[in-house]
């Protein structure tokens, strides 16, 4: 069994401004780890070029970008295909001249096709007209048509797929901005008035920013991505020096059905199938017993992590306690117990106060119950 560890305070400035470098801002992913925190984790664990890192539930690939920047081999795993695509694009260097030519080509094409492809695509979004005005639907449809047919106007075949993927991720990154949903919160709430923004202007401005952010990446990419379950990755020939796991916080978000709902639907991914493969997250639940299901799912993640750790390797878990009505749930202590049951020993335990991350959303109906911190824990298999 794990012996109790003294919890140490971690002092850390996680302001949004400090996180805006390289490709980290290419796609807004609600609830991601601050890149500078990941950099600190890698630094303090002496992760250099000769080490290997695994990110289970890689989300938008923050850890992978930080590993890429330092030339460290890393593998990212996620069940969500959009997360895998975003992580791939954020780590793929493409020469500037190729990207600027592609940008000019798609801008030219959008003016040529005019209104011809306004009805090319509509997602299966419930109450679509409530969430997107008809003019915005039309423009998104035309953009999607061009992106789906990128190979028509990209001359260099060597970069067609990478450029198409960049176009797709940029497309996904503006969906919330052009919808009638508030862009400020992870959960979806309708704004009081219809969105009247210019879709093309929004898209090409974001594309231009993304093109230049890619130039900060190394030309050689040491990153591998797998669409797989963190409980059963299918990895059988690698061992890792550091595994990072930042799971969904219980009773906070469900990425497939809420936070990334519009992006997945406009990208034509099967949300229901994705949801079947996600761990229990207790989204919008009133059932405290679902916490046991969440813990059991995470226990299976820990089993897989232990299998993939080097003898001297560490598992880093960043998570928080949760609130349900007027009760604070002991998520962290239950996770520590689950890790112990599969042979992972708690090595270090840090508490980090947060201001800009998802833990601050966990507010109980009782004002005396607060969840304003993240727990960062290191486990070893020794």
**Radius of gyration in angstroms for the set of CA atoms belonging to the chain, rounded to a whole number:** 21
Mean pLDDT of the chain: 90
Is 378 or 13 the better-scoring residue by pLDDT?
378
Q: Is the pLDDT of residue 367 over 60?
A: no
pLDDT of residue 257: 66
Q: Is the pLDDT of residue 68 over 80?
A: yes
By residue range, what is the domain housing residue 180? 96-214
Domain count for the chain, please give it. Answer: 2
Q: Hey, what are 285's tokens?
A: 């639940």
The H or E element spanning position 7 is strand 7-10
Average pLDDT over residues 119-129: 95
Q: Is residue 264 part of a domain?
A: no
Q: Are residues 125 and 274 in the same domain?
A: no
Q: Is 44 exposed, middle or buried (0-12, 13-18, 19+ CB in 10 A)?
A: exposed
Average pLDDT over residues 340-368: 71
The CA distance from 14 to 34, in Å, is 6
pLDDT of residue 285: 63
In the 8-state DSSP scheme, what is residue 370?
A: B
pLDDT of residue 355: 62
Q: Is the pLDDT of residue 36 over 50?
A: yes
Q: Is the pLDDT of residue 38 over 50?
A: yes
Q: Is residue 1 part of a domain?
A: no
Q: Are residues 115 and 71 in the same domain?
A: no
Concatenate the DSSP letters of all residues of 232-272 into one string. Answer: B----S--EEEEEE-PPPTTT--IIIIITHHHHHHTT--HH
Q: Are residues 24 and 133 in the same domain?
A: no
pLDDT of residue 145: 96
Going by pLDDT thresholds of 50, 70 and 90, the confidence category of residue 3 is low
Q: Are residues 210 and 227 in the same domain?
A: no
Domain boundary among 148, 182, 214: 214
* Bridge partners (DSSP) listed for residue 229: 232
Neighbours of 284 (CB within 10 A): 12
Digit-coded pLDDT (tens) for 241-276: 999 999 988 877 667 767 899 999 999 999 989 988
Digit-coded pLDDT (tens) for 274-332: 988 998 887 666 678 889 999 999 999 999 999 999 999 999 999 999 888 778 889 99
Average pLDDT over residues 59-85: 97
Q: Is residue 188 part of a domain?
A: yes
Q: Is residue 76 part of a domain?
A: yes
Average pLDDT over residues 117-141: 96
Q: Are residues 288 and 374 in the same domain?
A: yes
Q: Are residues 101 and 61 in the same domain?
A: no
Q: Is residue 184 part of a domain?
A: yes
Q: Are residues 227 and 342 in the same domain?
A: yes
pLDDT of residue 366: 46
Q: Is residue 263 part of a domain?
A: no
Average pLDDT over residues 78-85: 96
> Would you state the torsion angle of the CA atoms of residues 302, 62, 328, 256, taken in this order, to the nearest 10 degrees?
-90
Q: Hey, what are 381's tokens?
A: 């298999």
Going by pLDDT thresholds of 50, 70 and 90, the confidence category of residue 4 is low
What CATH code is carried by the domain that includes residue 335?
3.40.50.150
Q: Is residue 265 part of a domain?
A: no
Q: Are residues 235 and 374 in the same domain?
A: yes
Q: Is the pLDDT of residue 120 over 90?
A: yes
Query: What is the number of H-type helices and E-type strands within the chain?
Result: 12, 10
Q: Are residues 370 and 279 in the same domain?
A: yes
Backbone angles phi, psi at 271, to 5 degrees: -65, -40
* Tokens 């998520």, residue located: 331
Q: Are residues 234 and 373 in the same domain?
A: yes
Q: Is the pLDDT of residue 372 over 80?
A: no
Backbone angles phi, psi at 6, to 5 degrees: -65, 130
Q: Are residues 112 and 206 in the same domain?
A: yes
Q: Is residue 112 part of a domain?
A: yes
In the 8-state DSSP scheme, what is residue 190?
A: B
Residue 355 near residue 14 (C-beta atoms within 8 A): yes
Q: Are residues 150 and 192 in the same domain?
A: yes
Q: Is the pLDDT of residue 171 over 90?
A: yes
Domain boundary among 214, 230, 250: 214
């Amino acid at each position: 069994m794990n012996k109790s560890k003294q919890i140490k305070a971690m002092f850390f400035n996680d302001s949004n401004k400090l996180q805006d470098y390289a490709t980290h801002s290419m796609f807004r992913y609600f609830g991601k780890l601050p890149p500078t925190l990941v950099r600190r984790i890698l630094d303090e664990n002496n992760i250099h070029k000769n080490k290997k890192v695994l990110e289970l539930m890689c989300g938008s690939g923050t850890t992978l970008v930080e590993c890429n920047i330092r030339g460290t081999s890393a593998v990212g795993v996620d069940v969500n295909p959009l997360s895998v695509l975003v992580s791939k694009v954020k780590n793929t260097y493409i020469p500037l001249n190729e990207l600027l030519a592609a940008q000019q080509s798609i801008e030219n094409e959008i003016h040529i096709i005019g209104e011809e492809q306004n009805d090319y695509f509509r997602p299966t979004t419930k109450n679509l007209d409530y969430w997107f005005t008809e003019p915005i639907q039309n423009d998104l449809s035309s953009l999607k048509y061009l992106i789906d047919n990128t190979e028509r106007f990209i001359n260099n075949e060597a970069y067609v797929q990478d450029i198409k993927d960049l176009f797709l991720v940029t497309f996904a990154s503006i969906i919330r901005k052009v919808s009638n949903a508030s862009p400020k919160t992870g959960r979806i709430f309708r704004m009081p008035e219809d969105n009247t923004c210019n879709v093309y202007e929004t898209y090409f401005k974001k594309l231009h920013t993304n093109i230049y952010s890619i130039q900060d990446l190394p030309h050689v990419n040491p990153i591998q991505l797998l669409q797989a379950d963190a409980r059963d990755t299918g990895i059988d020939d690698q061992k890792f020096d550091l595994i990072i796991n930042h799971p969904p916080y219980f009773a906070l978000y469900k990425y497939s059905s809420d936070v990334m709902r519009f992006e997945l639907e406009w990208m034509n991914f099967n949300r229901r199938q994705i949801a079947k493969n996600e761990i229990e997250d207790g989204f919008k639940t009133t059932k405290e017993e679902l916490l046991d299901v969440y813990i059991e799912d995470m226990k299976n993640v820990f089993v897989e992590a232990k299998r993939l750790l080097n003898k001297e390797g560490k598992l880093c878990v960043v998570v928080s306690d949760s609130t349900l009505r007027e009760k604070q749930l002991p998520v962290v202590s239950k996770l520590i117990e689950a890790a112990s049951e599969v042979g992972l020993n708690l090595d270090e335990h840090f508490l980090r106060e947060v201001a800009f991350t998802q833990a601050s959303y966990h507010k109980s109906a009782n004002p005396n119950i607060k969840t304003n911190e993240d727990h960062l824990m290191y486990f070893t298999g020794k």
